[in-house]
Structure 1
């Protein structure tokens, strides 16, 4: 029985890989998952959220805790260079973070729970869109339909290239960094390049802002106040050599281990930008985009993850520092006791977001086994 489930989940994974969709545009992916859940699984309830998210709910025979398991399903704007049979059919879009695999693990778990319900409590299997841009978790948690779920715990995994295949990687406290991206727009006055004194060129202000923001970095990974700003994009003026620019933009991504540290860092960066702009008589507009809370792991859930790994016979490793990448599951661990953990994708697996990456199908069964055991462990 379990063998058939895994084979079907692997087939689903390859289908999703062939038909990737970008964040906030996963209409067909969502529809396909809904059809599969309705026809091949028997959830007690199926909730379809406003922006493509889906929750399949399985109720145990006895009262117990409600455990939410999250799996994402959006792809990335990356051209795939692999040439296997299930390669992406969409030009410039591909599953290069393994979300096709994460969703397939959840599908396998849904199939399993359809045949063998957990003894106690509710299992909420959340298929989530738009993780990559931070909009998915936020949209679901703000959807009125989510109010009825009220999970006691929330759990998610991410595959991890560079670690031995199937190894369970855990960490107490912060697992992934808080991240937010700032866009600074500076408007001065365009003038003739021969008479820059009659205009207001933002170049010097842009250089000062960049230097002062980078001066705020605390790059020591072992400190609680770790924080870094990374310059992402800069633009100013046009390739018109007779014109002194009157407009410029600066984009930075900020990261920190702690949600309060990044809030303070955001405020400091805004203050720097506004003060420098004012000193140069520039109008300023600031926007924020792609915001991710830090994933803070609850000790009770970490104990369940380690217990599930031990029950399944999987090797574990405690990570010394958090991962520096952002993950929007942090909005769940901000509001509910929860945790994110990793499963090794292999020492030689291409890195995440690389054009030759492909999710290892061997992890589907591993993820399913660990998740179903976590649900059981959290009922004790």
Structure 2
């Protein structure tokens, strides 16, 4: 290991400090400042702040020409109340680092310590702390930022901790690893009336009922192949909380999920046709919007080869996932694959560990050293 036990203890303390003060997607100002200050102490050659919002990148340059290797972590927490007795539990009501992004940042901070002492021989190593992963907006914002042009990489790597796999064991596979998904928000507008005379209004009641079953009927899940589709209704609202009013307004929120972007385009089209059909039949105005848009996440073969080599050289056990991959959950890292060969590996957090987004989840600190070793080996293999 390129870090001493004392340094790992310091980085663990850094991780737990981040855990106490989680910030939501797009609002990671304090987290970004803490990260930037810690990176400054490593002697990075350049620190770029304000990437795609609150993103931060640290650049470590070699002395010769060579590839640029980017390693990415996430800054944001979740709008979930943490339920635990940990001394470092969240101090922010209703918010928690319950996906492990604090641990991912700690892994990159361990890398920063090592790179600060010994630069890559060639090219550049870039550590990217990305904002707004949880709502799918961060990767797109970083890539669209003019400041990112100077950071373009030859390879981009990332990891995610994975409860359900043995602690420290890695799932890694080529091809699709995370589904595309998006939140579809449907508003149906008619006209209210007195509850005693509903015929005087235009109520969305029956259209809402048809759409609740019709949308879920477009995708019932099944095998995770190129035809996989799943529609989950997550919220519905009808009218006002009153007994004297026949409703004139309804909302449906549904999450659309597919394995590929191509299949998502077809599902979106089918869902919109269904909504407009039912609205027209009921003489309602339909408005459709989308939030939390995630594209498919696929691992490129050249990047996977580099990760496999590093895992083998570091003695970290791995396999294609034993049924864990691809997964239904979404991840906005996939967009980086449009600018460079990219790959993400999944680092086991323990078979019985609380699952991601559970209120009692906490990142296992034992993974900090493992993740950092693997990424450092990747950097040394590619850039010397």
2:239 is matched with: 237
TM-score norm. by structure 2 comes to 0.96
**1:345 maps onto 2:349 in alignment:** yes
Q: Within 5 Å, give how 1:344-363 maps onto structure 2.
A: 344-363=348-367
2:335 is matched with: 331
Question: Aligned equivalents of 2:70 and 2:25: distance in 1?
Answer: 21
In the alignment, is the contact (CA less than 8 A) between 1:101 and 1:361 conserved in 2? yes
In the alignment, is the contact (CA less than 8 A) between 2:26 and 2:132 conserved in 1? yes
1:100 is matched with: 102
2:376 is matched with: 372
In the alignment, is the contact (CA less than 8 A) between 2:70 and 2:153 conserved in 1? yes
1:267 is matched with: 269
In the alignment, is the contact (CA less than 8 A) between 1:175 and 1:341 conserved in 2? no
* Root mean square deviation of aligned Cα: 1.4
> For residues 281-320 of structure 1, what are the alpha-carbon distances to aligned partners after superposition, in whole Å with 9 as ceiling and x for unaligned?
1011111000011111000111111111111101102124
> For residues 161-181 of structure 1, what are the alpha-carbon distances to aligned partners after superposition, in whole Å with 9 as ceiling and x for unaligned?
111111111121011111111
> For residues 246-273 of structure 1, what are the alpha-carbon distances to aligned partners after superposition, in whole Å with 9 as ceiling and x for unaligned?
0000010011111111121112111111
Question: Aligned equivalents of 2:43 and 2:163: distance in 1?
Answer: 34
1:239, distance to aligned residue in structure 2 (A): 2.1
2:293 is matched with: 291
Q: Within 5 Å, give how 1:33-112 maps onto structure 2.
A: 33-38=35-40, 40-50=41-51, 51-112=53-114
Which runs of 5 or more residues in structure 1 are unaligned? none
2:186 is matched with: 184
Question: Aligned equivalents of 1:218 and 1:351: distance in 2?
Answer: 23
1:221, distance to aligned residue in structure 2 (A): 2.1
Classify the secondary structure of the residue corresponding to 2:254: strand
Question: Aligned equivalents of 1:197 and 1:66: distance in 2?
Answer: 67
In the alignment, is the contact (CA less than 8 A) between 1:293 and 1:334 conserved in 2? no
Q: Within 5 Å, give how 1:137-176 maps onto structure 2.
A: 137-176=139-178
In the alignment, is the contact (CA less than 8 A) between 1:49 and 1:140 conserved in 2? no
Question: Aligned equivalents of 2:11 and 2:329: distance in 1?
Answer: 27
Of stretches 66-75 and 217-226 in structure 1, the one that deviates more from structure 2 is 217-226
In the alignment, is the contact (CA less than 8 A) between 2:157 and 2:344 conserved in 1? yes
In the alignment, is the contact (CA less than 8 A) between 1:218 and 1:225 conserved in 2? no
In the alignment, is the contact (CA less than 8 A) between 1:301 and 1:378 conserved in 2? no
Classify the secondary structure of the residue corresponding to 1:326: coil
Which runs of 5 or more residues in structure 2 are unaligned? none
Question: Aligned equivalents of 1:49 and 1:138: distance in 2?
Answer: 14
1:193 is matched with: 195
In the alignment, is the contact (CA less than 8 A) between 2:226 and 2:260 conserved in 1? yes
2:283 is matched with: 281
1:379, distance to aligned residue in structure 2 (A): 4.8
Number of residue pairs aligned between Structure 1 and Structure 2 = 379
Classify the secondary structure of the residue corresponding to 1:329: helix
In the alignment, is the contact (CA less than 8 A) between 1:214 and 1:229 conserved in 2? yes
Question: Aligned equivalents of 1:70 and 1:223: distance in 2?
Answer: 27
Question: Aligned equivalents of 1:91 and 1:45: distance in 2?
Answer: 35
